Structure 1
Amino acid sequence: MNNSIVSDKKNIRHSLRAKRKSIGKTERQQIQKQITRQLLPLIKRNSNIAAYMAFGSELDLSDFIRIAQKRGAKIWMPYIEKRQRRLWFSAYQSQAKNKEYAYGIVQFAGKKRRIESMQLVLVPLLGVDKTGIRMGQGGGYYDKSLSYCDRASRPKLIGVGFACQKVASLPKEPWDRALDAFICEEGVSYFSCHDIA
């Protein structure tokens, strides 16, 4: 990767993190409730949904996770193995005592699955552009994991976050996988011709 692209991405990430952090506590709570309501139609009984535990100023999905489990969906969380870029997903357990940590992120021990066994993947992000290209933390875990999926096994990929994370364009690499949609307090932006529900 060329040095100017690396530098551009670093600057963009810094700017987007600052925007996300600037959202006040009360506004953040209201936005999270709005987004949870928009996500509810995506819950299907017995479906496998990959979510995430909020880290830093990421959108908190706790309410969505609780409701999805009550409605009979199975929730899975990213699990990172050392020196591996391809993600596993482990079953979410609200009362888990056997938690592990990787890069400061909570992970759950136990049964694991790959991304291609999910029907829906809710992806954290720093930014998303008008074509559905997302900017994450820079580890490449989601893109690497999705590279193992063919069209038939690729889950719906939904970015979730705040409206301030939308930008006109982001640097795109050959391995970047576009989102199917992005959900924020302003509504849903679709990037795929396929229905996300």
Structure 2
Amino acid sequence: MERMGHGKAQWRERLTTRRIARTGDEQASAAVRLTALIGEIESGPLGRPLRTATIAAYLPQPPEPGDTGMLDALVATGATVIVPKVAPGPPAPLDWARYEDAGQLVVARFGLREPAGAAVGIDAVGGADVVLVPALGVDRRGVRLGRGAGYYDRTLGAAADAALVAVVYDDELFDELPEDPLDVRVGWVLRPGTGFTPLT
């Protein structure tokens, strides 16, 4: 696994550049694989049938791995799926809304997509069984590198009972990433080539 002795800014720059360079075919292939693998959440981090679960997910934006197919596959099992709504103002804990299908989505703050319906509140993530978390990279200790605004680190503390899963490409699992005291570690990683892997 790759390891570099740089700070977070250097890691973010390198990993963002590498993602942007990924071809459309590579991104599409990863999305298909992730959709096919998403059901394995039952035997991995969830450990019980999806139809009884609440999954907090996110809406991938190219070049992030995955697409709405992952969320549609979860909804098809009967799971309750919630996704973020970013409130105005400085970075704060994320609000959430129920995801039904891609047809309900609108473009919102930062160009992100979110459901057009009403939010269900920032506390909704506390009822999630699994949280799928976006990341530029993750290491084997569960240290996750996000984009730097801190929305998820402000949010995940409320999901103390949930399994936290970072979703990355196959080459974005590292031996060690830089970590700050307020960073929230994840317990799992989901990659297109290997599925769900527990982290230590």
- TM-score interval for Structure 1 and Structure 2 normalised by the shorter chain: 0.7 to 0.9
- Superposition RMSD in Å: 2.2
Contact kept, 8 Å, 2:85 with 2:119, in 1: the verdict is no
Change (3 A) 1:169 1:184: same
**Cα deviation code 1:4-45 (max 9, x no counterpart):** xxx832221110012222222223222222222222122500
Question: Equivalent residues in 2 for 1:1-197 (5 A)?
Answer: 8-42=7-41, 44-83=50-89, 84-94=91-101, 95-96=103-104, 99=106, 101-108=108-115, 109-113=117-121, 114-150=124-160, 154-187=161-194, 188-192=196-200
Q: Which runs of 4+ in 1 moved over 4 A?
A: none
State the TM-score, normalizing by the size of structure 1: 0.83
Unaligned ranges ≥5, structure 1 = 1-6, 193-197
Q: Give the CA deviation at 1:135.
A: 0.5
Q: Give the CA deviation at 1:149.
A: 4.4
Q: Name the SS for the 1:183 alignment partner.
A: strand
Identity of aligned residues (%): 23
Unaligned ranges ≥5, structure 2 = 1-5, 43-49
Q: Name the SS for the 2:81 alignment partner.
A: strand
Contact kept, 8 Å, 1:126 with 1:137, in 2: the verdict is yes
Change (3 A) 1:163 1:77: same
State the TM-score, normalizing by the size of structure 2: 0.82
More helix per residue: 1 or 2?
2
Number of corresponding residues: 183
Change (3 A) 1:160 1:149: closer
